[in-house]
Structure 1
């Protein structure tokens, strides 16, 4: 069975492939807990996500909104949940490959899977776990004339680092917390400080924590950040190099703004993308899985969370955590050829060693 048109011979790769027992596609809460459950089974896993940070939908859409249905935690925000899950998998030392989307999944002759990403990273994994929620969250593009012609180094979407802002005229375009954080990061004293920082949004109101809004106001008053109320209507470039943006104010008047770097924060949207071309059984844009094992139609590939479908499926975080557990046990049996022992974190010396906690008997 071929799941893509990607090369199946490792010798054809442009760089050495990352070898791993398990590759988890999606670093949201489901993917993070999947890494934890695999770690308890002694299965080394790595994470890959299209976003530049872990947390997925919880981080991006529910960062400061309350969540009430996590067992044992009466209420927490999306960011708090992600931080707790990150802390939980810390002992497993799970490598992360962020800001890149999986493009191809191809079976290898030895039973492993070869996976390629948009960043040119290649993996060779014994098992694959798809925890992609409702699809890969990708940044919304700036759709104005001239934007598609820009050098990628001058038009960045939700960048993880602001190194390129140092000493340049920068426009941060957006009104959410990430945009505010970026504007502050470009304007404060330090090695990444821009020569001039602009923050543009369609209205003079921003969604961020009170502390950030207070810091932004201080920077506005000092002149370190200039806020512009308006929308970009055109990008002016010459041979791909950014010259300026044309923007329109609330009264419909157009203005030019000379620039050297454009940072765009227009939010994200989920897309199934190339997943639909991998040859896996789908039903209404969801992966069909066995609810007892969370196995897909391809051997060694499992799927959990909102991306899956089976009789009685509920699209809740709690259910995704259960699915991650079932998938980890199934994968352990698949890899080892026998059912793994059921051990408890309260009493198992092996699990205590994995988690880095002292076993009671050792005291």
Structure 2
């Protein structure tokens, strides 16, 4: 027998067929925006406009990806992070995102900030099958994989958060008369819907609701209306600029209700200090991140690592700004998600990995809070703990509460 004889299958030798199968099995797969050397991530942020205090998030993300690249990237690939200023204007967001997808050809849109801005590109990105991943907004609509399989949230949803405030009011304020300030957009409406749900049969405890537009110069007139209602509880629902204005104006008017403040405006640096520390004592909000002004975290290993990162990559950054902790945490989760993709950098695999976390610990989250997702659960963080403002910082109290707690 000729030992050199080869077996052929369909015109291809068995050896070649086996070799081809091995190559296919270990083959790298890429969608647009990913390659052997680079992963392109697109992002928009309000570096200008009424929500510009959130610009620190974009700056923090840029610093985080610089650290990742300095350390060799993710699975040997550098991150090309393209961030654009949309001014918190939905039409501008549409323009920016189209540029990122159609011209810059990013692999995915990561942590785009704002409820109205994300809403403006929600359908477009899902039609294009471009991941809209870990969005920087807590609107409940971001957890709808059945209808929008390419969009996933990150932080606790506004609806659940507001329910927690409402139930705390009912349990702690006898015969409460509640005034509500609402930002007139999807985020504000989501908060109010959850708040009413939490009040249940006591929804008539709301004696006055006043809304504002993000283009308004102030909310002074709205606060005057709310005070005149005779309310003894004030639910402040808005972005930092207007939340600070509202609490300062209430104090100027001599109105001293119990104040509940939405988490997205609970920053010491951009809300509480501008409102005046004397005016915000006792304000209650929900937390899910470690606040860097809280001294209990001074010797915490995660916060020590965060401080080291700030010192190296954000020198001069405000160490009292919790949104830098936010940027650090969400970028850490994105890094892990991309790592798990390995060499299969397809958009479908990215969403598959994002939907497969089980009680995953992300630095910066409060103790007892982890990330869990599944193909039917697109809400990564689903727990909060209440905190009260005292002095120049927040003090946590009570237990960690999840959606089930409400």
TM-score by length of 1: 0.26
Structure number with larger C-alpha Rg:
2
Provide TM-score, normalisation by structure 2: 0.24
- Report which of the two has the higher share of strand: 1
Q: Which has the higher helix share?
A: 2
RCO greater where, 1 or 2, for CA within 8 Å and sep 6 or more? 1
